[in-house]
Chains A and B, each alone.
Chain A
Amino acid sequence: MIEIENVRKRRADRWVLDGVSLAVEKGVVYALLGESGMGKSTLLRCIAALEPVDEGVVRVAGDALVSGLSIDERVRRRVGFVFQQHHLFAHKTAIENVIEAPMFVAKISEDEARARAEKLLERLGVAHRRDAYPSALSGGESQRVAIARAMAMEPAALLLDEPTSALDPARRKDVTEILRGLAEQGTTIVVATHDVPFARDVATRSGLLERGMLREDHGLLT
């Protein structure tokens, strides 16, 4: 699970996050709503420790990942991140993207990493694209490989930044199913999105980020 305590972050002369607290339990899909520029991505990046915060603590599965300016690198790999642009490693095939971190960060054997990757790609429906380079993948395929890459590290939490921005409606439904499936198996999921219908379909809980504050009584999804 993810616990965020009173996180504050300043950008230039304004507090983008001004005392955000949140606890997301295991198995929940949490939708982080808000207009562009309201700090959704920033909060997501702070949870993944891609940026330090000015104040506050982020805990993942009980251990502090971010505590003010200090980041615990060992905790980071418990969080998987799927970027809006996916950022697949351009010089590696789909399956090589997936086995990279298990082999070189988690240090498991190549055979084991490949078996795990095959299973993930299979489940996400992109096993047939395992040897394709990212430049040859469609937006939807690329996103699933990115999800597989993040899930291959068996993270406690999976964070996704605007996962529906480049998808047609049919693919959008697929992502919804994938995320619900992962949540059912015990992954904590946080999705930053401004796509209200998608959030309504996928989310168990949701919050609206406005002027640096997180409100859960927004009533957008009812």
Chain B
Amino acid sequence: MRQLLAAIAVVLVVLASRAAFAEGAKDESLSAVKARGTLRWGGDLQGGEPYVSQRADGTLVGFEVDIARAIAAHMGVREEFVQNDWSTLVASLERGTFDVILNGFEITQERVGRVLFSRPYYVFAERLTVRKGETRFRAQLAELRGRRVGTLAASLAYDTLVSAGADVVLYEGQEEPYADLASGRTDAVLLDDIIAQRYATRHDTLMTLGDVREGVYAIAARRDEGELMIAIDSALDAMVQSGELRAILKRSNIDDAREDKLESYGHPSGGSASIAESNATQGEHFGAHHVVLFLEGAAVTLLVSTLAMAIAFPLGLLLGIARTHGPKWIARAATTYVEMYRGTPVLLQLYVLYYGLAPIVRMSALTAAVVGLGMNYAAYEAETHRGAIQAIPLGQMEAARALGMSVPLALRRIVVPQALRHALPNVTSDFIALLKDSSLVSVITVVELTKRMTITAVDVRSWIAPGAMCAGLYLVMSLPLARIARRLERVEESR
């Protein structure tokens, strides 16, 4: 624990000195871009149409590609797309992975303090989509309190829903919220109108209930790179004046009456600061209520891991026995199971279980998480048990058989009890691994400890306190287990 704190302290000092250095440094952002000849812009292809997506031949399309191209042309450089997970765009911008963020990035109060924004290039509405025939509530924020509403993490819609008191369900991609709404797992989806237009319309059972608020997308640069932002803004100014921007929007079929406002919105330092204010929830600090949320996340992690192990352990034991003592066809089936589950990513298995099988079995996210992880870990437990069973001398089975025991009885009374003692230290280690792997279930909307950390990091604009809290809680859960595993190993060795 002391070492961990020391490591965190070192990280803090490094960060602080970097910040101090940056304050004093001269802004060479624009000359750097010009010298390189490329403007690197970050975005996430998973966002898909109409923002930026990839064609089969590898070329990028989308209105943001066109905007990036036009701005780069105005600056006399080429544009270069950099793929980055959407939820970590700001962190990657700050560490210099690219020059600007250009990817449906909304102007919000907390972001205004952290990055520099250009003037807006698109005005969108937060659109509420529901199943046809929905009558329980209307498209008003106050009526969303307590409703299960799907959206994307770290989005303006997310902030909106949280402050409205909705039960928010978080997704990683645009398809899944609407699929889950159609299959009845949520009450509504709140997302930007251009997302709803593309994805909600694929389900005939869904309809638009209405728009609850407006927001704007803008380009973001590092806080100390004003020179670059001035150049980008003047390019955007020119594009707005000449009608080039509207032409781009029209080409992607997303131009509407709202875009008339683009002309009146100025630079955020002037007019659009008020946009930020009207858009944003209060900026947050890491505080007591976050600790409570983290503890909840840890509880979910522990619950999912424990229940998954409760499936994996007995199922793995059965598979291990089937492989060592089953009739040939059962042994082969067990081997197939093990190879299949070990040979494919658990992430894929979770997707298939939760989204792929939704039309057949509609599991809750938590159930799917437990079943998915449990069945995956059963494959690993099977190998642990198989090894342990094979480590028991054959004479034990033979002696049992010679006394008239059947094979199942001999397994139950003689072989398996001895094998379990061999297996236990490994099973405990596997449980520690499972505790950490359980973070994968966030892809199917379960908010456990790691997901809580990434959400909070965005909320409070820092990875340090949430990261330390997250690591600390994992250690608190896994260190006692590691100790138990070591003790079991010692017992095993002394036998």
Contacts and interface: CB of A to CB of B under 8 A. Distances in A.
Contacts of A79: 402
A80 B393 CA distance: 20
Nearest to B409: A104
A191 interface: no
Contact of B413 (A73, A104, A106, A150): A104
Interface string A77-99: 10111010101111100000000
A80 B404 CA distance: 9
Contacts of A153: 403-404
Interface in B396-410: 396, 398-406, 409
A149 interface: yes
A81 B413 CA distance: 19
Contact of A73 (B399, B404, B417): B404
Interface string A37-60: 000000000001010000000000
A76 interface: yes
A76 B407 CA distance: 13
Nearest to B419: A91
Given A91-B421, A135-B495, A83 B398 contact: yes
A83 B402 CA distance: 10
B300 to A, nearest CB: 38
B395 interface: yes
Interface residues of A, number: 24
Nearest to B403: A101
Interface string B434-449: 0000000000000000
A83 B414 CA distance: 17
A100 B393 contact: no
Interface residues of B, number: 19
A115 interface: no
Nearest to B405: A105
Contacts of B418: 89-91
A100 B398 contact: no
Main secondary structure of the interface of A (DSSP, over half): loop
A87 B396 contact: yes
A17 to B, nearest CB: 19
A91 B393 CA distance: 12
A3 to B, nearest CB: 20
A81 B404 contact: no
Interface string B372-416: 000000000000000000000101101111111110010001100
A50 B404 contact: no
Contact of A104 (B393, B405, B417): B405
A87 B398 contact: yes
Contacts of B495: 135
B411 to A, nearest CB: 12
Which of B393, B403, B413 has the most chain A CB atoms inside 10 A of its CB? B403
Given A89-B414, A91-B417, A100-B413, A149 B401 contact: no
A85 B395 contact: yes
A43 B399 CA distance: 17
Which of A48, A83, A91, A106 has the most chain B CB atoms inside 10 A of its CB? A91
A76 B393 CA distance: 22
Which of A50, A73, A104 has the most chain B CB atoms inside 10 A of its CB? A104
Interface in A97-136: 100-101, 104-106, 135
Contacts of B414: 89, 91, 100
B417 to A, nearest CB: 6
Nearest to B407: A73
Nearest to A90: B418
Given A90-B418, A91-B417, A101 B395 contact: no
Contacts of A104: 405, 409, 413
Contacts of A77: 403-404
B398 A76 contact: no
A93 B406 CA distance: 22
Contacts of A106: 404
B165 to A, nearest CB: 57
A101 B402 CA distance: 10
B295 to A, nearest CB: 41
B403 A50 contact: no
A67 to B, nearest CB: 18
Given A90-B418, A104-B413, A135-B495, A73 B406 contact: yes
A50 B398 CA distance: 8
Nearest to A135: B495
Contacts of B400: 89
Given A104-B413, A135-B495, A83 B399 contact: yes
Contacts of B421: 91
Contact of A50 (B402, B405, B409, B417): B402
Contacts of A83: 395, 398-399, 402
Contacts of A88: 399
B492 to A, nearest CB: 12
10 contacts: A50-B402, A73-B404, A77-B404, A89-B396, A100-B413, A100-B414, A101-B404, A104-B409, A106-B404, A135-B495
6 tightest Cβ-Cβ pairs between the two chains A and B: A77-B404, A87-B395, A87-B399, A101-B403, A81-B402, A105-B404
Given A77-B404, A89-B414, 19 more contacts: A50-B398, A76-B401, A80-B403, A83-B395, A83-B398, A87-B393, A87-B399, A89-B396, A89-B400, A90-B396, A90-B418, A91-B414, A91-B421, A101-B403, A104-B413, A105-B405, A149-B403, A150-B403, A153-B403
